[in-house]
Structure 1
Amino acid sequence: MNWISCIKSYQSYLKIERGLSKNTIDNYSFDIERLCLFLTKNKIVVSPIKIGEETVQQFIYSVAKEVNPRSQARIISGLKSFFSYLIFEDYRADNPLELIETPKTGRKLPDTLSVEEIDSLIFAIDLTTNEGERNRAMLETLYGCGLRVSELVSLKISDLFFEEGFIKITGKGNKQRFVPIGDLTQKYIQIYRNTIRTHITIQKGFEDTLFLNRRGKQLTRAMIFTIIKSLAIKIDLNKTISPHTLRHSFATHLLENGADLRSIQLMLGHESITTTEIYVHLDRKFLTEVLNSFHPRK
């Protein structure tokens, strides 16, 4: 069994058996393809069934020179999953990464923006263009609902339940959740729908997609990154930000204003509350104020 057939079989397993999204499957596949590239570059001819620990270790050493410990840990984790699948399917008897240690990365705190910085980003949008109205609605939705960028671009008109005050989100692993949506965000989405989207020639298959590009198709994740980074440059924001920064800011601002972790977990769609707990570490000053305000021995 060669690398191409193994990778395709693995991708089918991730999609059908584990229900993972295309983006997640692409990330898993990229790690394996990187290993294949290393083998080709070094003229090492070995199948995924026969590759041994020593060869994989050489690959990890080469990766360590190019990426940070966090990326290295992700690659090791992705490859371990791939070879575990091969064991599960009885193609192999062992995992060549079994004894390879994952580098300690610590817990990375997410970057966040202040409310004022988010306002500045949104105010910098040129509303004289059709794309401006769309971009304002998108940023308000990202921040107002705490969405992942993949959830934003795949949002459907049929997912909007404005009368009930919710939108339906399809997250990782095709898991669905209902997220509350505020009046302001609803307002900007409706402005975009009524004044801009109605004049777009919509391509077949995208009639229900909420946010469209000029050609009437679904926006790419890369386009959202570009829009946000351009706005950051426009306002001289000296921070490295991405669409995920707005999601982190959403959670942090909720916590700072008294929301409980369980509610934030449900809105973000985190499977485990330990993922949500990272936001507790963001603002030590806020935690001190909570202690001083509410503890009986203050």
Structure 2
Amino acid sequence: MKANVNVSLKLFIEYLQIEKNYSQYTIEHYRHDIKDFFMFMTEQMIGGLDDVQYFDVRLYLTKLYEKKLSRKSVARKISSLRSFYKFLLREKLVKENPFALVSMPKQEKRLPDFFYEEELAELFKACEDHTPLGQRNRALLEILYATGIRVSECSQIKLSDLDMYLSTVLVHGKGHKERYVPFGSFAHEALEAYINNGRKKLLDGKETHDYLFVNFRGGPLTDRGIRVILNSLIEKSSLNGKIHPHKLRHTFATHLLSNGADMRTVQELLGHAFLSSTQVYTHVTNEFLRKTYMSHHPRA
């Protein structure tokens, strides 16, 4: 039986949503990568998913490199398609996985981008405290920096997940994994001001719900909405560039390790399954220490 491409994609998306519990943002990446491969199949007149051979995959890789895509982008597409075919094999919709033997391109070793404390102070200055949206933005920025949670995790926080007495938040992470993360006095103060004032005004006369962060219409704030807010704060501040989704998360981890936190604790707070994912930040802090030394030591 040959797998219909659109039906197969629909089944795979449902699998990612229900079984893997991936965020909508992650799922859209999978959808985009797989549809891109469907276009390649059409161009090459490949009849069905079970007709794709190893040499077709090699040709597809060549075309990706011809488009001048980064190694990271190519690796992501191959990973998406490998997972897709692994699912199709499980469901007996194909006989083999043509992506199984494809080697992933080596990644460029780039250190995580983060804010220095002085830069972060400028970002906080851009937040207003006298408007409902300003109170929300400050609370949002404070909680992201205080906890190091992912943007997708932040958008899912509900009022019932907060323990204001213990200053902790229950975070619903990847793969149904949950963890409690503490937050400090600055975040606590900003959350109280927002919940007791700004959030109530944003919800005034609208349908109530339990999501912590809301948009100007009173609805739950999405991942995309959070990114837009963070970039608007950058524009209001004296800083340049844009905030990518993980920059505050990187900053959280880097600042903890720079100030003496042990790696296992940072791993737990970030919700990393493997310590190797956290170890990259040791390189950041070592580089930070080196630059600080070279800039400030009289005989450097």
TM-score w.r.t. length of structure 2: 0.88
Determine which of 172, 194, 197 is the counterpart of 2:196.
194
Any stretches of 5+ residues in structure 1 without a counterpart? 290-298
Q: Which secondary structure does the structure 1 equivalent of 2:135 belong to?
A: helix
For 1:47 and 1:96, the matched residues in 2 are separated by 13
1:246 aligns with 2:230: no
Cα distance in 2 for partners of 1:215, 1:285 equals: 44
Distance 1:46 1:141, change over 3 A: same
Report the counterpart of residue 213 of structure 1 in structure 2: 215
Counterpart mapping for 1:258-273 below 5 A: 258-273=260-275
- 1:43 deviation in Å? 6.1
The secondary structure found in structure 2 opposite 1:84 is helix
User: Take 1:202 and 1:100, find their aligned partners in 2: how far apart are those partners?
Assistant: 56
Alignment of 1:1-298 (within 5 A): 1-40=3-42, 42=43, 44-64=45-65, 65-199=67-201, 200-201=203-204, 204=207, 207-284=209-286
Deviation, 1:287, is: 6.3
Alpha-carbon distance, 1:214 to partner = 1.4
- What TM-score does the superposition give when structure 1 sets the normalisation length? 0.89
Deviations 1:2-33 (A, max 9, x none): 11111112223333333433333332222111
* 8 Å CA contact 2:23, 2:152 repeated in 1: no
The SS at the match of 1:178 is strand
Check conservation: 2:257, 2:285, Cα contact below 8 A: no
Task: Give the 3-state SS of the residue equivalent to 2:50 in structure 1.
Answer: coil
- Classify the secondary structure of the residue corresponding to 1:196: helix
Residue-by-residue CA offset, 1:69-89 (whole Å, 9 max, x unaligned): 111111111111111222222
Deviation at residue 268 of structure 1 after TM alignment: 0.7
CA positional deviation for 1:282: 0.3
Q: Secondary structure at the match of 1:133?
A: helix
Q: 1:11 to 1:126 in 2, by over 3 A?
A: same
For 1:202 and 1:179, the matched residues in 2 are separated by: 33
Equivalent-residue separation in structure 2 for 1:134 and 1:273 (angstroms): 33
For 1:9, what is the secondary structure of its paired residue? helix
Tell me if the contact between 2:168 and 2:181 (Cα under 8 Å) persists in the aligned partners: yes
Cα-Cα RMSD: 2.1
User: How much has 1:285 moved relative to structure 2?
Assistant: 5.2
Does the CA-based 8 Å contact 1:201-1:215 persist in structure 2? no
